Chain A
Amino acid sequence: MSDVAVIGASMTQFGRREGEWVLDLLAEAGEACLDDAGVGPDDVEHLYVSNMASGEFEGMTGVMNALAHDLSVLPAYTQRVDQTSSSGGAGIYAAWQSVASGASDMTLLVGGEKMTHRSTAEATDVIASITHPVEYKHGLTLPSFAGLTARHYLERFDAPRESLAHVAVKNHENGTRNPHAQFRKEIDLETALESPMVADPLRLYDFCPITDGSAALMFCPEEVAREYTDDYATVAGVAGATDTLVVHERADPTTMGGVVESGREAYEMAGYGPEDVDVAELHDMFTILEFLQMEGLDLAEKGEAWKMAMDGETAMDGPLPINTSGGLKSKGHPLGASGVAQGYEIYRQLVGGAGERQVDAEVGLACNVGGFGNCVITTLMEAA
């Protein structure tokens, strides 16, 4: 089995991309990734497209074939990867498998979603369509699951409401350093705590926005990588796991089994433990999810992540910087792109190309969550 390297990465501007559709966004990121990696279209053997719902959002299906044609990577094998919000992470897993197995010597992964042409209510409903019928008929949405979980966490661990606002403030501050982020403005605690209520006790600034955008990564065997560059990262560990679809059937509402299991397997594959992680991108679709993933991945003790957030331990200059990109919270969350964009940030950090966001890192972790923890991919990368 080959060691798998990442030799190039790209991401588009995230935000509202008027007049541009999913294929435009995918093509923009795909072309930029080819350029960044110095790889010609003829060299691409596999193309994976991470996308959750282009059919539901804009009536466009078969995006992987369309993208292959637009990028002239024919006759590369193509496949669309849908794992809801973790489609990007699942794309990393698929790309890693394609190279590690020997099936491909050059795999391009592009993730993207076009969402902002829909109203918030419509987009929320497309995302909520993943829920079980007994949940859907009650009007359950992903934000409402977050509200239910946040209340339980705060009450059970005696955590102050302000601790969640610290996550929002931190990730917005990080986002100001990311030129691709949807929001590049700092907020203060008061702003977060007084913003409109969305799903009690969570307010507007506890939630990520609706976003258009795309991101891409280029994978190849490590021996091939050396032909292209000295500055690359390797996939040290990657694993996926699934939890109950029905959220209330979980024994502990504050534990996402998919996070725990995918993290455990990824650590085992990499030979690293949580103490080795220098920088992490976590799926902060809602502020509470940053705490749940920190604890599920053993980056924090159970019920203690909120203290680390309030103490600044997860800030850019803290001992464990989390979401240096601004996270989904500030950077934006174009569903199929988000996991790939997490990989983009970790790759940039490991090769020393993160600009103003650069931290000292040899090992990075990305955790991409689908649904409300229904499916999760955890990836560990290390600098070459």
Chain B
Amino acid sequence: MMEAYRYADGSITYPGHPIGPDGSEPVGTVDLSEYTAEVITWTTSHSTPPGVRSPNTIAIVEFDVEGTPVRAIGGVTTDGVETGDTVRPVYVEELREPGAGIREPESQEWDGYRFEPVE
């Protein structure tokens, strides 16, 4: 599940926060993996840190959740992506090698979703 939080004012954020942008607590969640998104911008990084694939193409995308825009960031499954492309989230068991970088492996989850262009 690519879990985003919905807040009392109707806004949605990914990731979720204990207090939302309007200062209220979350009232529910949304699974973004059920939606497609539009690429807002992208880059391909050729100098990646330990435990990260190289090259690493990353995109900021925007979902439309029943009229509410929700932005997210993540890797792209292919090298070829363009601004404006439509993508869908695809589950990946391990996005980065835990323990190879500076962050404590047990401090966070390492699975998640990359974005795959929709033909």
Contacts and interface: CB of A to CB of B under 8 A. Distances in A.
Q: Do A and B come from one complex?
A: yes
Interface of A: 56, 120-122, 124-126, 128-129, 132-141, 143-144, 147-152, 155, 196-202, 246-249, 253
Contacts of A132: 15
A141 B58 CA distance: 11
Nearest to B108: A133
Contact of B83 (A129, A137, A151): A151
A198 B55 CA distance: 10
B35 interface: no
B95 A137 contact: yes
3 closest A-B pairs by CB: A147-B43, A139-B52, A125-B49
Given A133-B109, A138-B74, A253-B60, A124 B41 contact: no
Given A124-B47, A148-B58, A151-B42, A139 B109 contact: no
Interface in B44-66: 44-53, 56, 58-60
A141 B96 contact: no
Interface in B2-32: 13-15
Contacts of A136: 96, 101, 103, 108
Contacts of A139: 45, 48-49, 51-53, 56, 58, 75, 95-96
A141 B45 contact: yes
**Chain A interface helix/strand/loop/mixed:** helix
B91 interface: no
A148 B96 contact: no
A132 B74 CA distance: 12
Given A138-B96, A248-B72, A152 B40 contact: yes
A293 B15 CA distance: 27
Nearest to B60: A248
Contact of A147 (B45, B71, B109): B45
Contacts of B48: 121, 139, 141
B35 to A, nearest CB: 16
Contacts of A202: 43
Contacts of B53: 139
A138 B95 contact: yes
A22 to B, nearest CB: 18
Nearest to A129: B102
Contact of A249 (B13, B49, B75): B13
A325 B42 CA distance: 32
B112 interface: yes
Contacts of B51: 139
Nearest to A196: B46
Contacts of B95: 137-139
B40 A199 contact: no
- Looking at B43, B58, B107, B108, which has the most chain A CB atoms within 10 Å of its CB? B43
A230 to B, nearest CB: 48
Contacts of B58: 138-140, 144, 148
A126 B102 contact: yes
Contact of B41 (A122, A155, A198): A155
B28 to A, nearest CB: 18
14 contacts: A122-B102, A132-B15, A134-B15, A134-B112, A137-B110, A144-B58, A147-B44, A148-B60, A149-B41, A197-B44, A246-B15, A249-B13, A253-B41, A253-B60
A133 B83 CA distance: 25
Contact of A140 (B47, B50, B73): B73
A56 B110 CA distance: 22
Contacts of B72: 248
A138 B49 contact: no
Contacts of B44: 147, 197, 199-200
Nearest to A122: B50
A136 B48 CA distance: 11
Q: Taking each of B47, B49, B71, which has the highest tally of chain A beta carbons within 10 Å of its own beta carbon?
A: B49
Contact of B49 (A141, A152, A155): A141
Contacts of A133: 15, 107-109
A134 B59 CA distance: 13
Contacts of A196: 46
B73 A248 contact: yes
Contacts of B102: 56, 122, 125-126, 129
Contact of A121 (B42, B49, B103): B49
A56 B43 CA distance: 28
Which of A137, A150, A246, A253 has most B Cβ within 10 Å? A137
A198 B45 contact: yes
